[in-house]
Structure 1
Amino acid sequence: MPARLSRTLAAIATTVALAVTAPVASAAEQAPADQHFTGTLADGATWIADVPGNWNGTLLLFSHGFGPTVAQDAPSAAARTALLAEGYALSGSSYDPNGSMWALNSAERDQFATLDAFAGTVGRPSRTIAVGQSMGGLVNAQIARDGAGRVDGALGLCGLVAGGTDLDNYQLDAEHTLARLLLPGEQVKLTGFATQEEAAAIADRLTAAVTAAQTTPQGRARIALAAAYLNLADWAPGQDRPAPTDFEGQEQQQYAWLAQGLLSFIEGGRYAVEQSAGGNNSWNKGVSYAALLAGSAHAPQVHALYRAAGLSLRTDLAALTASADVVADPAAVRTAQRTSSAGQGLSVPLLDVHTTADNLVPVEQESAFAARVEASDDAGLLRQAYVERQGHCAFTTAETLAAVHAIDRRITAGHWGNVAEPGTLQRSALALNLDGAAYLPYRPDALTVGRTATRHSH
């Protein structure tokens, strides 16, 4: 064999041997690894971030809802997994851990500080989308108002966008109704709780009164009146939606919400809001409970149940108005207006998504928010979409991702087009083949609240 051919064959053999024996890197080893970051802000708040190896350059800044001040960067574990898989980076803060769980005094500031921390630690994103859920939806609306140059767009999920004072006022109306009509003669403290335990005890007392009242037609009529003031949905989990004229069925489902501990959440929330505001920011002195009911979408139900029970609605409404004597602390109202309101304007596009039967943050809050945005001449920046489902923040992962994609496309295009239309969102969500979707055309009723923070009683 010629020497040249021999050397060539030997080289080929060596190459083949190396090809067979050399370790081959797996796809996981070749792909950049996901990274998790954490840090502490100036006020003691913590921030976290998750950055996928295939980061697409977009950061989602997540504002979490009411509860323990623990940093979160996604609305759910399933949404986090799906968003990271799509290349989105995620970040969010705890808010100031030293104050109230109604952390509106620090939340927006801490979220902006989180953006700075992310940029200094990870790098500056090419695009930032603010996302907020529940109470964090209110924070998110503030960011959409104030965040020009820092965020490019915003997505609100089940947001408490009517603000803290509207919330406490319509809840006070419902609490006043339950206390005055179901516990006549008792002096039930409804504001100014000294401790969380005091708030919990009042919630237990009112819940027991509701449970007892449900056993009589008169009690059920009065529960329906309180539910109207609470803007409480009449479609509860695990049940079929009652017909528009099935007034008894509507009340039974409103009672189901109340019996499941809703009042405990309301009273605990009031304690936290008052902690944050430095006093009571709600009032009912001077409120006409007849006029308030007349503006409620639930008025026909209330009238029908009162007639069936043989009760005088006029007498009860007059008693509620005459005994309404709660006066707000003006300083607390001013503080809540400064820290716990939104809707005075928008500086970036905002898409709000809400379930149609939300027991904790009524979908009617979106009507109040839209009116304020429109009054600021920023209606063109706002779109609102609705999911037909019972429960607070009860979105599927597909619905959440479709909403993220919609605001992302709005930022890219510079105009809304049809990206936030219910049909587009539904098709986008179903195309993900995840866990279903129920976007639909919907227009919420007006929020039953009857007064504004700028015209409160002293």
Structure 2
Amino acid sequence: MKYSHTAISVCALVVGASLALTAVSANELLEGVEHMTGTFDDGQEWQLSVPADWNGVLINDLDSVGNVENASDRATFFLENGYAYTGTRRHPDRGYNWDPQAESDNMVRVLDIFEENFDTPAHAIQFGCSGGGSVGLSVAEDHPGRFDGVISMHASTPVELANMRLDLSVALKALLDPDGDLPLIIEDGQQAEAEEAWLAALEQAQATPEGRARMALAAAVAQYPMWGSQNQPQAEKPDWDDPQSVQDTMVRAAVDGLRRAVTGRPMWDQPAGLMSWTTDVDYQQFYENANPMQREMVSQMYEAAGLGGEDAILADIEQINAFPRIAATEAGVEYFRSRTHSGNIGIPVLHISNIGDGGTPAAVMAGYEAKIEQQGTEDLYRQAFIDAAGHCTFNLAELAASVDTLVERLETGEWNTSPEAMNAAGEASGLGEARFLALDDNTGFRLPDPFNRAFFRDDEVPGLVAE
């Protein structure tokens, strides 16, 4: 392991949480901050940034290196408000050789270096979004003796999300391109070509009422949201009283979900082989588990397209069920079986997502909640939901509220995660309006019950293929 140590002592940062952040450069961000960088022997970069007015709380983040380099709002918020901000850059081969256990262990190595060079934090918090959120869940299970709490945003567990994305891909393939060349399993380096082919096919399908109806059915079967986006936080929210508006957003969610299913596919399969499957899956049952409001909209779209009523929907679901099954490999499942989350957390975890995430749907949180219930760790676990589209598009008020909420839990032993309390904390930060909400029939989203793809470490997987 190699590292460098730079102390920058121009002036201490004394910007309070009540002040809005302005754009800064990385050099400006690190004024008055003691900054260390290095690279672990496995090639993952790490960094420590400690402001002169450190408040004793350490925020560790899988993505901190890139955030500090780019002086992101996230890094600026933490450092300007007295938090030590530490962590790593994502491993260079993470996109096709993901090892969640190694990532989790490296978070501890960062904390080790911090304590060797500075002090033991009053609170060590693992924070992250998307992959960083998933690492946070791993840390809560693997290293509760080193960290005090976790803020996990837009996180997922590998097997659940890979299977959920495969369900969407298979349903769309079976309904729109059963005999065509659209790929379902994509190797690293093939993502751009596969994405282009799929987008062309989905654009053609969107041009007809029949295609739109079938796209909406596929999304409902796979428990994708009724509205949202992968990358656009300003994706228009539908008028829930306007069926056409809702239908438009359902189709868009299917497109964004498929794009991420295609481009993210190699991450799941490369380490040891295919680790998701459709063997022994009943897509009729999956559709029965869909959001009732979503099912009603699908029915309306089928009728309006002239396809017919429920009988036509059932016939299309049978077409999905008749599509050739995909079997996981024994090695692929075993690789992730030991690396997937268990729900056996030992420290408080605040698990957060936008309800309009089209790429990593908030529905996957139901899968982790099932693990928590199985392990009996409910007292340590809370969920919160943001009324927004996009993936990791939380705002600064929501970030401030999340940190305040977890620190309060660490110091008092009590959770206060109601939307009203978290929105009040966001407003008190002076950083804008937080958008936490309670899930009800007016949001267009509810956690699925049951979640189609819940997976536990001791689950049997049918039809495994030996390699």
Give 1:280's match in structure 2, choosing from 267, 274, 283.
274
Once the two structures are superposed, residues 2-29 of structure 1 have per-residue CA deviations (whole angstroms, 9 ceiling, x without a partner) of: xxxxxxxxxxxxxxxxxxxxxxxx9948
Q: Is the 8 A contact 1:218 1:309 kept in 2?
A: yes
Aligned counterparts of 2:179 and 2:257: Cα–Cα separation in 1: 24
Q: Is the 8 A contact 2:154 2:392 kept in 1?
A: yes
Alignment correspondent of 2:372 = 373
Aligned counterparts of 2:59 and 2:317: Cα–Cα separation in 1: 48
SS in 1 for 2:58: strand
Alignment correspondent of 1:57 = 56
1:442 aligns with 2:439: yes
Matches within 5 A, 1:50-449: 50-64=49-63, 72=67, 77-100=72-95, 102-160=98-156, 163-191=157-185, 193-197=186-190, 199-236=191-228, 237-243=234-240, 246-259=242-255, 262-276=257-271, 278-297=272-291, 298-311=294-307, 312-339=312-339, 341-416=340-415, 418=416, 420-442=417-439, 444-446=446-448, 448-449=451-452
Matched letter for residue 445 of structure 1: L
Aligned counterparts of 2:452 and 2:63: Cα–Cα separation in 1: 26
Matched letter for residue 332 of structure 2: A
Aligned counterparts of 1:152 and 1:369: Cα–Cα separation in 2: 20
- Compute the displacement of 1:286 (Å): 2.2
Change over 3 Å in CA distance of 1:29–1:217 after alignment to 2: closer
Aligned counterparts of 1:365 and 1:176: Cα–Cα separation in 2: 18
SS in 2 for 1:393: coil
Q: Is the 8 A contact 2:423 2:433 kept in 1?
A: no
TM-score, normalised with respect to structure 2: 0.83
Change over 3 Å in CA distance of 1:29–1:288 after alignment to 2: closer
Report percent identity of matched pairs. Answer: 27
SS in 1 for 2:264: helix
- Compute the displacement of 1:356 (Å): 1.6
Matched letter for residue 89 of structure 1: A
Aligned counterparts of 2:192 and 2:74: Cα–Cα separation in 1: 33
SS in 1 for 2:424: helix
1:456 aligns with 2:461: yes
Q: Is the 8 A contact 1:62 1:72 kept in 2?
A: no
Change over 3 Å in CA distance of 1:76–1:370 after alignment to 2: farther
Q: Is the 8 A contact 1:179 1:206 kept in 2?
A: no
Once the two structures are superposed, residues 312-332 of structure 1 have per-residue CA deviations (whole angstroms, 9 ceiling, x without a partner) of: 222211121112410001211
Aligned counterparts of 2:453 and 2:148: Cα–Cα separation in 1: 35
Q: Is the 8 A contact 1:60 1:88 kept in 2?
A: yes
Change over 3 Å in CA distance of 1:105–1:412 after alignment to 2: closer
Alignment correspondent of 2:231 = none
Q: Flag structure 1 segments of 5+ consecutive residues without an equivalent.
A: 1-25
- Compute the displacement of 1:397 (Å): 0.5
Matched letter for residue 461 of structure 2: H
Change over 3 Å in CA distance of 1:166–1:291 after alignment to 2: same
Q: Is the 8 A contact 1:356 1:386 kept in 2?
A: yes
Change over 3 Å in CA distance of 1:58–1:436 after alignment to 2: same
Once the two structures are superposed, residues 63-96 of structure 1 have per-residue CA deviations (whole angstroms, 9 ceiling, x without a partner) of: 239xxxx655699812322222221101011244
SS in 2 for 1:387: strand
Q: Is the 8 A contact 1:96 1:106 kept in 2?
A: no
Q: Flag structure 2 segments of 5+ consecutive residues without an equivalent.
A: 1-8, 15-30, 229-233, 441-445
Matched letter for residue 265 of structure 2: R
Change over 3 Å in CA distance of 1:209–1:285 after alignment to 2: same
Q: Is the 8 A contact 2:124 2:148 kept in 1?
A: yes
Q: Is the 8 A contact 1:60 1:131 kept in 2?
A: yes
Once the two structures are superposed, residues 86-134 of structure 1 have per-residue CA deviations (whole angstroms, 9 ceiling, x without a partner) of: 2110101124434545452521111111111222233332320111211
Q: Is the 8 A contact 1:156 1:350 kept in 2?
A: yes
- Compute the displacement of 1:411 (Å): 0.6
SS in 1 for 2:36: strand
Change over 3 Å in CA distance of 1:215–1:272 after alignment to 2: same
Change over 3 Å in CA distance of 1:99–1:86 after alignment to 2: closer
Larger radius of gyration: 1
Q: Is the 8 A contact 1:61 1:130 kept in 2?
A: yes
Aligned counterparts of 1:57 and 1:457: Cα–Cα separation in 2: 50
Aligned counterparts of 1:104 and 1:205: Cα–Cα separation in 2: 31
